[in-house]
Amino acid sequence: LLLITIVGVPGPSVFFGLGTDLHNHITNVGILESFCFLWVLGIVHVHIDTMLAVLSVFLFLNIISARGMKILIFGDSFDRYMVIERCESQGKKHTAWSDDKLTYYNGDNGAIRCEFGPDDTISNLQLFGSNGTRPYFSDGSMATATNLVDTKERIHHALRLYLKSFPPPDILLFHSLAWDVQFFSTQGDVWYTVNTIGHDDFYRAIANTRRAYVERMAELHALLVEYRIENVTQLGIRSGFYYPSRYSDTRCEKDGKFLIEAYNDLYRALAREKNWLFFDLDADVWSTTRYAFSGCDVMRDRMHISPFFSVLYGKKLTGARHTPFYWLRGGQPAPADWPSSWLH
């Protein structure tokens, strides 16, 4: 049991370990609950020494699984909220690591970092879209005399700035679903056509996002090679969340769901094809609700998830809680009915 426990501990370079399923079950429900679970199954019987030995294994497992990772996210506002709220939930103080070239709304810091321990950190950079250059959803409000709005320039400058101050991250995660989807909400009726499966606008949106992700990940890999950390830092992407339409002030609708579902399928297929790390946030966090939720339950506003789910996202991402979806190498194949013309 001890050997299975050790092999099954997930980390940035350990995937589908022998004990993964047992490990995920134990760390997700807790030590005492798992102890009772094994008792009920008849694995542990009357002898008190055996019971204490198994409990010691559980304690060892949880100590090992608490080891940290250095995660850097080039992401959207979901990631920004997550870094802030995950940090505050641990009684820590987040700090800014940006300069005047990496600002957010009203000149706010566009890059935030939280340090839980020397090798246990999570940092984010706010992006505005996956395309290398504008237009984006909020061009006007983000543009200043010095701010680098275009994603291609922004990620290059940010990684250089980060590595001047901090050790290389174990994982560099790229994601921009919220801004990519929100861009269409400024395009009048296109918001509805991109959410219509089978419409040309829907396929064009998916094809454009695929191209953008492949380009940005290639650029990031080139930077890792330039800084000679390609064997230290692993590149990954994640799936995204549903959120309501711009046309409603309520947080209880989800009429952007079809495009977001398609984007998530695309991310899973891309991760599989390119052998990228993949964090299935949609499945990993929303599966805790068994998808039986409304926007009223999980959203703080019409776009952002509630602090509870934001902190849960941070716990899953950093390994404080594990599930079978935790940091898979590669994703899922694309749906069989997707036209091959816009998959490649």
Q: Where are the alpha helices (DSSP H) in 13-47?
A: 20-29, 31-41
Res 14 pLDDT > 50? no
| CA pair distance 293, 277, nearest whole angstrom | 28
Buried b (16+ CB within 10 A) or exposed e, 111-141: bbbbbbeeebbbbbbbbbbbbbeeebbbeee
Please state, for a pLDDT cut of 90, what percent of the chain lies above it.
36
Q: What is the pLDDT of residues 261-294, one digit of tens each?
A: 889 889 999 998 999 999 888 877 766 655 555 5
The answer to whether the beta carbons of residues 270 and 331 sit under 8 Å apart is yes
Q: What is the pLDDT of residues 61-119, one digit of tens each?
A: 555 444 578 999 999 999 999 999 999 999 999 999 999 999 998 778 899 999 998 88
Count CB-CB contacts under 10 A for residue 190.
16
Angle at 242 between CA 239 and CA 243, to 5 degrees: 135
The answer to whether the beta carbons of residues 305 and 299 sit under 8 Å apart is yes
| CA pair distance 325, 188, nearest whole angstrom | 37
Q: What is the pLDDT of residues 216-238, one digit of tens each?
A: 999 999 999 999 999 999 999 99
Task: Specify the long-range contacts of residues 228-232, CB closer than 8 Å, at least 24 apart.
Answer: 229/163, 229/168, 232/168, 232/170
Q: What is the pTM of this model?
A: 0.76
- Kindly state the helix (H) or strand (E) to which residue 222 belongs, with its residue range: helix 200-226
DSSP lists the bridge partners of residue 325 as: none
Res 248 pLDDT > 50? no
